[in-house]
Every structure is written in structure tokens, then in C-alpha cells.
């Protein structure tokens, strides 16, 4: 099976989650600004919540999803307590006719690493890392 990980991260938290998932999948996590040119069986897509929505670069990436290249999308997010990024990612995949995994993770970061002015996140706790690893293991074992 072939996997890919794409993420949008303003503060570093979602990048940190993407890196944990990518390590488990044996791939490199890449920003959504890097196009997905190859065919993949499972695409992990993650973004944070920004003003109850996803970022502009995530919206642009979601518009480029192509069911001839992606068999299944697995959504992940970091947020305070909103699951809007998960819903946007899943809805975009469904609109494109791409299978959406029953698995998704929204790692509730609250204000951990939050800064309006610069990147401040990206340091997951041991418990958060373990939660993401467990999520990735579950998805990968069923792929």
C-alpha cells in the first residue's frame, strides 16, 4: 500500500501530528502547498482550525483532490475543541467521490503553543504523541 501525508499548519501543532503519522507510515509529511502528483491508497490530510474553518492553502489543496490519484482520505486536525477542519476535509473528499475513512483524529490542543504573531507550537506531550501513534497504527493496520 502507498501512503501520503499532507498538512496545513500555522503554529506547528498540526505539523507535529503529521510528522508522527508519517513516521508510522514510512513516508515524509509534506505541506499542502506541495502537490500530490503520485497515486496513493491512503492520503492522510490534516489542518488546524482557523476562525472555525480551514486555512486558505488547505482549501486550495482540497480543491485539487483527484479520485484517480487518491483511493481513501483520512482526516486529522488540531484544535481547541472545534471539529470543523475534520468536517471540511471529509466533505471535500466526498464531493470528489473519494472514500472517507471512518477513522479521524482531532487532537484537542486548547491553547497549547498558540500565538497570533509567530509559530509557537509543535511540541506534543508524550500522551499526545501516544494518542497519535495509536490512531496511525489503527488506520495502517486496516489499510
- What is the structure's pLDDT at 98? 98
| Distance (Å) of CA 94 to CA 20, 75, 86, 102, 113 | 25, 12, 12, 12, 32
Q: Which domain holds residue 134?
A: 3-142
Q: How many domains does the chain have?
A: 1
> Could you read off the pLDDT of 29-52 as tens digits, one per residue?
999 999 999 999 999 999 987 667
Write down the mean pLDDT value for the chain: 87
Rounded distance, CA 125 to CA 129, Å?
Answer: 6
Report which secondary-structure segment, H or E, holds 57.
Answer: helix 56-64
Query: Would residue 60 be called left, alpha or beta, if left means φ above 0 and alpha means ψ between -120 and 50 degrees?
Result: alpha
Q: What is the CATH number of the domain that holds 18?
A: 3.40.50.360
- What is the structure's pLDDT at 55? 83
> Could you read off the pLDDT of 10-34 as tens digits, one per residue?
778 899 999 999 999 999 999 999 9
Amino acid at each position: 500500500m502507498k501512503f501520503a501525508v499532507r498538512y496545513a499548519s500555522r503554529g506547528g501543532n498540526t505539523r507535529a501530528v503529521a510528522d508522527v503519522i508519517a513516521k508510522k507510515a514510512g513516508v515524509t509529511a509534506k505541506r499542502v502547498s506541495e502537490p500530490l502528483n503520485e497515486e496513493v491508497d491512503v492520503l492522510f490530510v490534516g489542518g488546524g482550525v482557523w476562525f472555525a474553518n480551514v486555512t486558505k492553502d488547505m482549501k486550495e489543496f482540497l480543491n485539487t483532490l483527484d479520485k484517480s490519484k487518491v483511493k481513501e482520505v483520512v482526516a486529522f486536525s488540531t484544535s481547541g475543541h472545534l471539529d470543523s477542519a475534520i468536517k471540511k476535509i471529509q466533505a471535500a473528499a466526498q464531493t470528489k467521490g473519494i472514500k472517507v475513512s471512518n477513522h479521524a483524529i482531532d487532537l484537542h490542543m486548547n491553547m497549547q503553543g498558540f500565538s497570533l504573531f509567530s509559530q509557537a507550537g509543535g511540541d506534543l506531550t508524550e500522551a499526545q504523541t501516544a494518542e497519535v501513534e495509536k490512531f496511525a497504527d489503527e488506520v495502517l493496520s486496516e489499510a
